[in-house]
Structure formats: structure tokens, C-alpha cells
Structure 1
Amino acid sequence: MTSNIDSPHRTTQPTHHFPHLGTPSFAMRFTSTPRGARLARRLSAVRLDAWGLPYGTETHEAVVLITAELTANAVRHGHVQGRDFHLLLRVVERPGPTARIEVTDTRGERVPPRPGKLPAAGLADDGRGLLLVEGLATRWGWYPRTQAPGKTVWAEYDMTVGGVD
């Protein structure tokens, strides 16, 4: 099980409240399996809808897709037998409302390239996940965990782009 989920770049909760958003946050550990990644995606979709970001909107679809790609990568590239991955989904101020997705796994030796340094996937059957994240997210990156092995891959989506004001 993953423990001591840490973030050297911890962000603050929104400084003011949005009537339809409040200061939402969702965090949970999932088994490092395809089923765990699917469950993380589904629960994120349900949470976003409950927060007033309904199914079918640009913001909802983009954040769910980013979450799906990051959790699938945690399972495929960050899997350590017997260890879970951790998902944190929340809204932060940047200065407008921004969805922040953080996925932490316990495999520190397999890290993604830095943003802007992704190789083209071409016609390969896989390798497009982070390209999708880079295309959808306002910004993304990763950092190593400081108190335990592993890494956190994060992405932010500016919700004003998707129509939330």
C-alpha cells in the first residue's frame, strides 16, 4: 500500500468559494490494476458531476480523460506488486478555477520525459497517453516522492477554458 503521499509543490485550496464548486477535493488509493484505473476514472467523473461540472461538458470530458491517462500510466509504468496508486483530484486557484489531478505510484525508476520533450507516437498502438495529457492540460509535470520511492505525475486544466466561470 502506498503511504506518505507527499508533494513538494503543494498548492493551496481556492482563496474564495464558487457557489457551484465550493472547494472540492477527492483523494483515494486504488489497486494498481486496469480495474483500479477504470474505477478511478469513473469515480472522478461522478465527483466532477456532483461538483457541478456535468457529464458532456468540455471541462468534464477533458479532466476525466486526463485522469484516465494518468491512472492508466500509473498501472502500466508505475506498477509495483502489492502497491497501490493514489489519486488526488481537486480545484485550485491559478488565478481562476483549475482542476488539478495528481497520480502517485511507488515506482521511482520509471519516469516520464519532461513536458515538451515527448517523442511522437506515430502509428504505434500505444504511447499516446502523455501526448493527450500534454494536448489537453494547461500544464503538467512530475516530481519524485521525497519520503518514499515513487513519483507523482500531475496535470492542471484551466476550467475557464472549458466554460466554467
Structure 2
Amino acid sequence: MNHATPHVGRPVSTVTHLLSSTRRGARLARLLAVTELRSRGASQDLTERAELVVAELAANAVLHGRVPGRCFRLTLVLDVLDPAAGRLRVEVSDARGDLHPVPRPADAAPDPLPTGGRGLTLVTALADHWDCVPHPPGGKTVRAVLTTSVDA
């Protein structure tokens, strides 16, 4: 599903993919995001950061948001007036509305042998901001906004 829609006075390009809640689906989300951003002329900086953010959010959707028989949704919303110096919103929706992501506190002592928990720390570092909102009928959407850095 690809379409351009108005967004607060600025045209945006919205691309949505429904993907299986599997490791393969998470990997495909990352590849689709990179392909889409490159084809739209997004900057290399924005594309590289988005690739990591999508990979982490999709992996979380598959690992923590999976409900058997339900897929997850990847949505990319890109400013089409100037994609090279633009703004991107990444949204990953899954079926587990009862389990919300919690970022690791900045002052938390690092675990010397962590088995996980770095994904949202990475998203926090790469995105301008992120949040989590309900996704009817019972899921959630994790949204991250990325903008091209001025010195990129």
C-alpha cells in the first residue's frame, strides 16, 4: 500500500507493509525500508539510521509483540517535498497491546553480560524521539521520528 497524503500542510509519502511475525518478516521490514528510502531519494544518514531503527522495532514486534496467526505492520511516512533533507516517521504495529516497551533508564548500571535490552537504547540514540500508542483493536504502535541531521 503506497500513497501520498497531506500532513499538516506538507505532502508526505506513506508506505505500509503487512509482514509475518517471524524473523524473516523482521529482516524483510529492514530491507523494504532501505529500498523505499533509497528509491525516494532520502539521505544516506537518514536511511542508515532508519535501517537500524526499523530492524530494532521489527525485531521487538516479532519477539515481544507476536500473537500466533497475527502479522505486524511497518509504516514509513516520508516528507516528499525534500526527502534528502526531510523527516521520516517509522511506525511498527503489533497485536500485543498489553505489553508496552519501556526504555532502559539512562542512569541504569550496565549489565556486563546482557542478553537483550539494548534495542530501545539504540532507538533512543538514533531517533529524535519515539513513543508508543494504542493500535485498535488491541495492539500497539511504536513510532519513531527521524530527521536528517544538519551536518550530514
**Superposition TM-score tier, normalisation by shorter sequence:** 0.7 to 0.9
1:59–1:162 Cα contact (<8 Å) kept: no
Higher helix share: 2
Q: Distance in 2 between matches of 1:112 and 1:151?
A: 10
Structure 1 position 73 matched with structure 2 position 60: yes
1:139 to 129, 137, 144: 129
State the shift of 1:113 in Å.
1.8
1:102 to 77, 91, 98: 91
Q: Distance in 1 between matches of 2:46 and 2:139?
A: 29
Distance 1:130 1:120, change over 3 A: farther
2:10–2:79 Cα contact (<8 Å) kept: no
Distance 1:12 1:115, change over 3 A: farther
State the shift of 1:115 in Å.
8.6
Residue number in structure 2 paired with 1:3: none
SS at match of 2:7: coil
2:104–2:121 Cα contact (<8 Å) kept: no
Structure 1 position 128 matched with structure 2 position 115: no
SS at match of 1:24: strand
Residue number in structure 2 paired with 1:8: none
Note the residue ranges of structure 1 that are not aligned, 5 or more in a row.
1-10, 18-22
TM-score for both structures, normalised by structure 2: 0.82
State the shift of 1:126 in Å.
1.2
2:22 to 28, 33, 38: 33
Q: Distance in 2 between matches of 1:120 and 1:88?
A: 34
Structure 1 position 159 matched with structure 2 position 142: no
Distance 1:84 1:33, change over 3 A: same
Q: Distance in 2 between matches of 1:118 and 1:35?
A: 34
Distance 1:84 1:132, change over 3 A: same
Give the root-mean-square deviation of aligned CA atoms: 2.6
TM-score for both structures, normalised by structure 1: 0.76
2:132–2:142 Cα contact (<8 Å) kept: yes
Identical residues among aligned pairs (%): 38
Note the residue ranges of structure 2 that are not aligned, 5 or more in a row.
none
Q: Distance in 2 between matches of 1:88 and 1:80?
A: 19
The one-letter code matched in structure 2 to 1:91 is L
Structure 1 position 13 matched with structure 2 position 7: yes
